């Protein structure tokens, strides 16, 4: 019985040490999130190619060497955001994250008939404003209504082998993220 009490006290002390250590490390990790790094590197609506130089040592940089990624921050309180790119790549995916890193929406190239990336995110009020009078230039666009005000659009492109390097680089270089004027 005495041994059981000793083991329980030792476990509680160990758990306390681990929890206190985590609390002391938390500030350094919270300053290294993707939102903070993107804010430090670029203004909203600026496409940033994510790589080891930008994401220095974070999990995003080391996630998968065959998936190249680019991101841009947006603010739907200002205007809807339109994300486009030209070209053919083996696979692309687009995700919207809030400023806490929670995934709000995801699509892949399989949603588009011609596998082209043409995506528009709007707030509910902006969607009401544009509904019923969508200009012809948006007839192939994918519209998504989002409750977010601020967020990050993350585009990932699969680099299956070195023969696709030029096409993938061109796709990411042509990637645009811009506010959309509804008037």
pTM score over 0.85? no
Token duo for residue 108: 């892949």
Whole-number Cα distances in Å, 23 to 9, 118, 158: 21, 43, 37
Residue 9 pLDDT:
92
Concatenate the DSSP letters of all residues of 14-80 into one string.
HHHHHHHHHHHHHHHHHTTSHHHHHHHH--TT--EEESTTTSTTSTTTTS-TTEEEEEEEEETTT--
Across residues 112-126, what is the average pLDDT? 86
Give the pLDDT score at 83.
93
User: Domain spanning 34-179: which superfamily?
Assistant: Domain of unknown function DUF1254 (2.60.40.1610)
- Among the residue ranges 3-17, 83-97, 111-125, the one predicted with the least confidence is 111-125
130 Cβ contact list (under 8 Å, min separation 6): 80, 122, 143, 182
C-alpha 155: how far from its chain's center? 7
Per-residue model confidence as pLDDT tens digits over 43-74: 888 898 887 666 565 545 456 778 888 999 99
Strand partners, 71: 48, 154
Where do the domains of the chain lie?
A: 34-179
* Predicted confidence (pLDDT) per residue in 127-183, tens digit: 888 887 877 888 788 888 888 888 899 999 998 888 888 888 899 999 999 998 876
Q: CA torsion sign, 106 to 108 to 111 to 115?
A: positive
């Amino acid at each position: 019985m005495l041994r059981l009490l000793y083991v329980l006290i030792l476990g509680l002390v160990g758990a306390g040490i681990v929890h206190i250590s985590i609390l002391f490390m938390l500030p350094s990790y919270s300053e290294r999130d993707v939102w903070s790094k993107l804010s430090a590197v670029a203004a909203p609506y600026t496409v940033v190619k994510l790589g080891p130089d930008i994401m220095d040592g974070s999990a995003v940089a080391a996630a998968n060497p065959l998936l190249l990624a680019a991101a841009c921050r947006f603010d739907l309180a200002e205007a809807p955001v339109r994300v486009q790119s030209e070209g053919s790549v083996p696979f692309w995916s687009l995700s919207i994250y809030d400023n806490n890193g929670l995934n709000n929406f995801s699509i892949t190239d399989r949603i588009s008939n011609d596998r082209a990336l043409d995506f528009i995110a709007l707030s509910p009020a902006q969607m009401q404003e544009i509904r019923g009078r969508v200009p012809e230039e948006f007839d192939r666009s994918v519209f998504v209504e989002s409750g977010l005000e601020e967020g990050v659009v993350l585009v990932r492109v699969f680099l299956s082998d070195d023969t696709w390097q030029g096409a993938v680089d061109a796709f990411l270089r042509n990637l645009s993220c811009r506010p959309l004027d509804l008037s």
